[in-house]
Amino acid sequence: MEKILDNDYYDLIINNISIPVYGSENITMINFRHSLLHIQAAGSTPCLLGEYPYHNFPSLYTLNSTISIEKSGIGAVQRNPFLNLTGRGIIIGIIDTGIDYRHEAFLYNDNTTRILSIWDQTIQSGNPPAGFTFGTEYSRESINIALRSDDPLSIVPTTDPIGHGTSVASIIAGRENPENSFSGVVPEAELVVVKLKEPKPILKEIQFVPPDVICYQESDIMLGLRYLEEYAQKANRPLVICIALGSSQGGHDGTGALSNYLNYLARLTGIGISVSAGNEGNDRRHYFRSITEPPFYDNIELRIGENDPTFFMEIWPYAPGRISVDVSTPNRESTQPVSPTINSCRKFDFIFTGSTIWVNNFTFEEETGDQLVLLRFRNPLPGVWNIRVQSIDNEALSFHSWLPSGGIISNDTFFLNPNPDTTITAPGNAPSQLTVTAYNQFNDSILIESSRGYTRNGLVKPDIAAPGYQIPCALPGNLYGTMTGTGAAAAHTAGAIAMILEWAIPRGNYTSMTGNDVNRLLIRGAARDSSIIYPNNIWGYGRLDVNNLFRRLTNI
């Protein structure tokens, strides 16, 4: 079995300069900067996360929208009619839960497919893409053969049982269906789709994520990006990538491996990136304190619910302060203060509750250079836990703490004094990709669940707000429904990016346009309310307004 599929191996994200140390037989290349190191996991314990740097373990990403099978009755998402920009000549790249290629939304009028290629990472029975070692690639030709057969799935067996990827793809590029009040933003664009495999169980285990949680492995998303980039280069066509996934792991400052890769791609000619901001704004999963007067400590009150037998949380202090942590159960059993070290991992068994926690207090986390405290809980006693964060040097301190995103934990576990700001999920915290929040297009109010900026290092995010409430979409099985959340907003905005790239490159108006150029145009053309100061951490630079952008383009 390929090591990248073998649950006896961890997949660690490493810098390519380290490859000679480990040997190429244990390496899977990702891009110019990062590769995967496959290491044997036999006999590993939770404290393996400590022997290897935290940032080497791929983060886990969750879906950033919810879908409803009930037809909304609302009008179709409006397409900008300027120059009849419908996405012709543009490739839409989807990295998600897959796609229902049989859905009429992805067919031409002659019932042939508008999908150029599908890389299904979950199917190992066919041929993987060139340069990759797992999954199965299905070409446009094979999809068309399947569509003409009586049993398409016997020829091309890829499906999308969750429906999220199908919905995202349709919002961007679905064929118009007036009977269902539906149309994608750029219905003449063509698609390249990556269906993500599930994370390795061993990665979920070491990160204390329940086995039944739907999430995806950062390294698989990065390999999907490499696939899309290479496909677009061979086709010599512009590419728009939509990432409707997010993670609250990491420093929320754009330094993660996936964020860095997207940041690089967005600065290449002809590649646009739309990333969802996340839906963590009202889930009470972020805590922040800044303490400038003695005594220099703070008590985090964390309410743990009965439905979270395992989970993790992170604490990120700002330099120059250094902190210790002391974790107490609801009945006041305590770990006593745990001070920072280079790579130690300490296990604490609480006698009277049956609870166990592992504490990694890293003096510095290599990607950011900042201190990081990682807490992992097993069988925590339900109730209010107290986590004392104290300055070791008896000086002012500021810190953030985040719980996991999406369905990795239940809504019964939360901070009693949460802060809704600085909740943008990765990979939306890096500068060059467009980070999109969601608003209700019927009353122009922000969706309360939309994550808020800024980033931990003060970068303005989100960049822009787009419609994200009950957006009409396709669902597997030739059904239609609606999608709500920042993932839907990112999909809507990806369609707008495709329109701009079509105007710029296939139409010959500005053939060297990069994704970052598109972002700045969208920001400058955004609709802004005169009563609001921009940019801000809720709306970014304003609401998406493609018509206004093109009006401004004529005056550049």
Count: domains in the chain: 2
pLDDT digits (tens, 9 = 90+) for 263-309: 999 999 999 999 999 999 999 999 999 999 999 999 999 999 999 99
Residue with the larger pLDDT of the pair 45 and 263: 263
Find the domain containing 390 and state its range: 286-415
Domain end: 391, 415, 439, which one?
A: 415
N- to C-terminal Cα separation, the chain: 56
Q: Does residue 16 fall inside a structural domain?
A: no
**Is residue 362 located within the same domain as residue 462?**
no
Contact 415, 284 (CB under 8 A): yes
Q: Does residue 52 fall inside a structural domain?
A: no
- Average pLDDT of 195-222? 96
pLDDT digits (tens, 9 = 90+) for 59-79: 999 999 876 544 322 223 334
On the question of pLDDT at 552 being above 90, the answer is: no
CATH number, domain of 118, equals: 3.40.50.200
Using CA atoms, how far apart are residues 132 and 154, in angstroms rounded to an integer? Answer: 24
* Beta bridge partners of residue 139, listed in sequence order: 117
The residue assigned the tokens 């609606």 is 482
Using CA atoms, how far apart are residues 341 and 196, in angstroms rounded to an integer? Answer: 36
Per-position DSSP letters for 417-462, written without gaps between them: S---SS-PPBTTTSSSSEEEEEEETTTTEE-TTS-----TT-----
Domain end: 415, 448, 464, which one?
A: 415
Domain end: 415, 439, 460, which one?
A: 415
On the question of pLDDT at 112 being above 80, the answer is: yes
What percent of the chain lies above the pLDDT cut of 70? 96
Q: Does residue 297 fall inside a structural domain?
A: yes
Give whichever of 46-50, 189-193, 361-365 has the largest mean pLDDT: 189-193
What are the structure tokens assigned to 52, written together?
């290897």
What are the structure tokens assigned to 143, written together?
């999809």
The residue assigned the tokens 């739309």 is 274
CA dist list (Å): 516 to 71, 97, 380, 522: 36, 27, 45, 10
- State pTM to two decimals: 0.95
**Is residue 276 located within the same domain as residue 302?**
no
From the centroid of its chain, how far is CA 538?
18
Q: Does residue 387 fall inside a structural domain?
A: yes
Q: Does residue 59 fall inside a structural domain?
A: no
What is the 3 state secondary structure string of 248-265? CCCCCCCCCHHHHHHHHH
**Is residue 372 located within the same domain as residue 441?**
no
CATH number, domain of 383, equals: 2.60.120.1290
pLDDT digits (tens, 9 = 90+) for 225-257: 999 999 999 999 999 999 999 999 999 999 999
For 141-262, strand residue ranges (E) read 190-195, 216-217, 239-243, 245-246
**Is residue 401 located within the same domain as residue 449?**
no
- Whole-number mean pLDDT of the chain? 93
